A and B are shown apart, each in its own frame.
Chain A
């Protein structure tokens, strides 16, 4: 790691004031320290914000999760478990108990890709070094995107939590450099790579994420999170699916379908959701929804398997919603 100056703050205001442009905020540190050790991130100062906003507040309109709430806390909180259980389910599919004890909710949104080329500073990567090229596009892209990618970047977002949050129409509360608060809809928080893949998201420079808000929803009975990976635990997704159904007498009133491991951002399968609305919850309709989702994909040379895997995962996840 590059030598750096270290400051701890207890308020958002202080954090924003003290952080210089060459610095970075640190919360759980589970990704940032990893990147610093590899000299991919080289901040000149770290501002420790671990003690800002770490509570889970029920609101009339939903729930507000403080940015510093630890991932594992979310899996134990009664409010989350009863009203937003998909969130807990997604978190438990990711990382390890130790990392979940450390990682913050806000930090989870800011995880950088796990694309192997991003992590090797000797190989070109537009995300790490804009303009250097994308090594994965025609290289080893087994883990890469199958939707929403560009010639400049085929990396995928690694989070599980974010897949649940995008499915539940969450929003991100941030405080900007000018100390003004702003709400960013979750689906607009992360970006597609386009020709600026070095920008993972639309968080303004020097802004702090203070909370995630999840609106009240009817998806606490029929939900599932299915994650497919190369081993049974402690691995990033090949494909993951967050599925949730609002059912009335086996008729689908509303549906949510989102995926990880497929795109540069947490991906919603809106067409498949729309298809399911008003339909009966049965295998045939689940298969059709999966087909509709898969139709939107455009796999790369090395990850064509992700398409049948995605179809299978959507079918199984929807099926699991009925038994959950």
Chain B
């Protein structure tokens, strides 16, 4: 149906260069031989004690570590999603001390003594949280990637009482982007739980 062809003219020009380059040896050992000394600051770590989903955690994290990367890369709590890493999409929404916040803009170092709830901590054992149940029943997702963030945000939205109208729900859920556009079901699910 669609055409996709490679334009020749540019690669013909590069051919000489890359044939020569392909011959460069590339072992990791050789790679380190000519390292010169530069002042590159070493990583710094910091011990942090916090509670995640009712479990106490003691972590020694890179000071640069965000809560999002801590959850996903260190603690295997991958339910919290990375959609932009810059506070522009809401996929990483979690609750800290009961408030919805963005874990991508939260440093682990700033969390001592805090209580974090992620999507993994929302259900009561096998019993789903009513918002999770409502998202299923209202089909409030498609690909599911923004869903944990939507649900964490939706739970907060109901707790905050921002559910008086469709317009209010929509405004207070606008910090959670959904590229599949499953906004119909998301609003419906929140209405259902808010009742």
Taking the complex as a whole, does A directly touch B, i.e. does some CB pair lie under 8 Å apart? yes
Complex contact A96–B90 (CB within 8 A): yes
Complex contact A97–B107 (CB within 8 A): no
Q: Per-residue 0/1 for A192-232: is the Cβ within 8 Å of any B Cβ (1 yes, 0 no)? A: 00000000000000000000000000000000000000001
- Interface presence of B116 (CB below 8 A): no
Of the listed stretches B125-133, B136-144, B152-160, chain A binds B152-160
CA distance in complex: A27, B63 (Å): 15
Complex contact A233–B174 (CB within 8 A): yes
Given A5-B63, A234-B174, also A29-B44 (CB < 8 A): no
- Interface presence of A33 (CB below 8 A): yes
Complex contact A98–B175 (CB within 8 A): yes
- List of B residues within 8 angstroms of A2 by Cβ: 41
Q: For chain B, residues 144 to 166, give those with C-beta under 8 angstroms from any C-beta of chain A.
A: 153, 156-157, 160, 162
CA distance in complex: A34, B105 (Å): 7
Complex contact A6–B87 (CB within 8 A): no
Q: For chain A, residues 20 to 45, give those with C-beta under 8 angstroms from any C-beta of chain B.
A: 26, 28-30, 33-34, 37, 44
Complex contact B46–A37 (CB within 8 A): no
Complex contact B63–A6 (CB within 8 A): yes
Complex contact B157–A37 (CB within 8 A): no
- List of A residues within 8 angstroms of B160 by Cβ: 97
CA distance in complex: A233, B169 (Å): 12
- List of A residues within 8 angstroms of B93 by Cβ: 98
Complex contact B175–A97 (CB within 8 A): yes
Complex contact B109–A37 (CB within 8 A): no
Q: Which of B102, B157, B162, B174 contacts A102 (CB 8 A)?
A: B102
Q: Smallest CB-CB separation from B177: which chain A residue?
A: A234
CA distance in complex: A5, B42 (Å): 10
- List of A residues within 8 angstroms of B66 by Cβ: 33
- List of B residues within 8 angstroms of A95 by Cβ: 175
Complex contact A101–B101 (CB within 8 A): yes
- List of A residues within 8 angstroms of B102 by Cβ: 30, 98-99, 102
- Interface presence of A121 (CB below 8 A): no
Q: Smallest CB-CB separation from B102: which chain A residue?
A: A98
Q: Smallest CB-CB separation from B108: which chain A residue?
A: A6
Q: For chain A, residues 146 to 174, give those with C-beta under 8 angstroms from any C-beta of chain B.
A: none
Least Cβ distance of B46 to chain A in Å? 6
Complex contact A3–B63 (CB within 8 A): yes
Q: Which of A4, A33, A50, A97 contacts B105 (CB 8 A)?
A: A33
Q: In the complex, how many residue pairs between chain A and chain B have their CB atoms under 8 Å apart?
A: 90
CA distance in complex: A233, B156 (Å): 18
Complex contact B64–A99 (CB within 8 A): no
Complex contact A29–B110 (CB within 8 A): yes
Q: How many residues of B contact A (CB 8 A)?
A: 37
Complex contact B100–A26 (CB within 8 A): no
Complex contact B157–A4 (CB within 8 A): no
- Interface presence of A315 (CB below 8 A): no
Q: Which of A1, A46, A97, A99 contacts B172 (CB 8 A)?
A: A97
- List of B residues within 8 angstroms of A273 by Cβ: none
Complex contact B99–A101 (CB within 8 A): yes
CA distance in complex: A132, B62 (Å): 34
Q: Smallest CB-CB separation from A44: which chain B residue?
A: B41
- List of B residues within 8 angstroms of A30 by Cβ: 87, 102, 105
- List of B residues within 8 angstroms of A102 by Cβ: 101-102, 105-106
Given A4-B64, A29-B105, A98-B153, also A34-B86 (CB < 8 A): yes
Given A33-B107, A102-B106, also A97-B43 (CB < 8 A): no
Q: Per-residue 0/1 for B83-107: is the Cβ within 8 Å of any A Cβ (1 yes, 0 no)? A: 0011100100100000111101111
Q: Smallest CB-CB separation from B103: which chain A residue?
A: A98
Complex contact A96–B175 (CB within 8 A): yes
- List of A residues within 8 angstroms of B105 by Cβ: 28-30, 33-34, 99, 102
Closest 6 CB pairs of A and B: A96-B175, A233-B174, A1-B64, A6-B109, A6-B63, A3-B41
Chain B residues at the A interface, C-beta cutoff of 8 Å:
41-44, 46, 62-64, 66, 85-87, 90, 93, 99-102, 104-107, 109-110, 112, 153, 156-157, 160, 162, 170-172, 174-177
- Some 20 contacts from A to B, beta carbons below 8 A apart, are A1-B64, A5-B44, A29-B107, A30-B105, A33-B66, A33-B87, A33-B104, A37-B86, A48-B109, A50-B110, A96-B90, A96-B174, A96-B176, A98-B90, A98-B100, A98-B102, A99-B102, A101-B99, A101-B100, A232-B171
Knowing that A3-B43, A3-B62, A46-B109 touch, tell me 8 more A-B residue pairs with CB under 8 angstroms.
A1-B64, A3-B63, A26-B107, A30-B87, A33-B87, A72-B99, A97-B175, A234-B177
